Structure 1
Amino acid sequence: MSDAPVICSSCNAPIEGRIVTALNKKWHPEHFTCNTCKKPIDGAKFHQHDGGVHCVPCFSQHHSPRCHGCGDPITDRVIQALGVSWHAQHFVCGGCKKELGGGGFMEQSGRPYCSACYADQFAARCAGCAKPIVDKAIIALDAKWHRDCFTCNKCRNPVTDATFSVLDNKPICGKCA
């Protein structure tokens, strides 16, 4: 067993009393310091970044990603969307303000929207019922239609033939024409 003194990795002097062990090295408590604020790092929590050590507050303030919603550092779960970082509680629908949680969303002018708000605000409208079209559409008579709304103006059956007649800019099936 060796009685050789423990040497500080910072000042190369022997350490007597309390020893800080970090990064496989030994330090005087006052010499294990944050590279940003230069204060001793108290406790066992610190971050390594660009070859240096940083106390938790300095790392959060200077090196954590910033939330696109509020501008504050993100120290917990980060949502990456639309090319930026968000706190989970700030990644919300541009319409109803509901948290999107990193799941599916639609984008309009750089803002995220839930599918319901996107459909309500931005989707094409059906010429038959005026509701948003979020799935396949029939394009006819210079308009878009839900498949179920493209019906004969006389018998109300779906118009499924490639050719049909038109009366008052409404489809008429071959049987009723």
Structure 2
Amino acid sequence: MEKCQVCKKLLKKSDRYAVKRGRVYCPSCYKILASSKCGGCGKPIFGNKLCAMEKEWHPDHFKCVVCHKMIEDDTFAIFEDQPVCNVCKNSKNPPASAKVKRCKECEQPLLAIKYYVQNGEYYCEPCYEQTGAPKCHECKRPILGKWVTSNGKTWHAEHFCCFKCNDNLMGRPFSFKHGDLMCVPCFKKFVLHRPTEPKPTTDPEVLDRTTKPEED
């Protein structure tokens, strides 16, 4: 006699049941198991459903994560994998009850805009560029997005180059000459007073503190 994997109901040979991946289910449990789950409440959906954000929802559960009102427009924003209505997206003062990240400097809500994380703090792009962004050792400008660090210095990835031949050194052996990057061929050619070859380094750390919003 078989037993349902979910409700443990004993199933007689004359009972209807379903088998999935070698496991047996009674019809009621299999209906729940096979049904799609709501992106809002996580419960099974029976009957009508709304499709958005590559998920399925109970029609009355597709709500703005900020104001909790039903989203009825064809367009909306996405914040941390949750829908945001156009009113809240453009609002400078979302409801106090909404758990919305704010910029540490200007305190604007970080809804549907690019923001950055530095030491656990959140910054909008203008404030991050002024206060939190690391500076490129080569061009001295703030680094937004991906950056490379080695020997205690930071670079834009496109500026991580040999200071002699200007070849990019990402993924290549390199060394330093008075704090400047040098590829191994240039080191051999120009540092003639050194009897030994440089100890090459091939693993600069690539970091990215950018958090981009989803497209509308």
Q: Which of 1 and 2 has higher RCO (CA within 8 Å, sep 6+)? A: 2
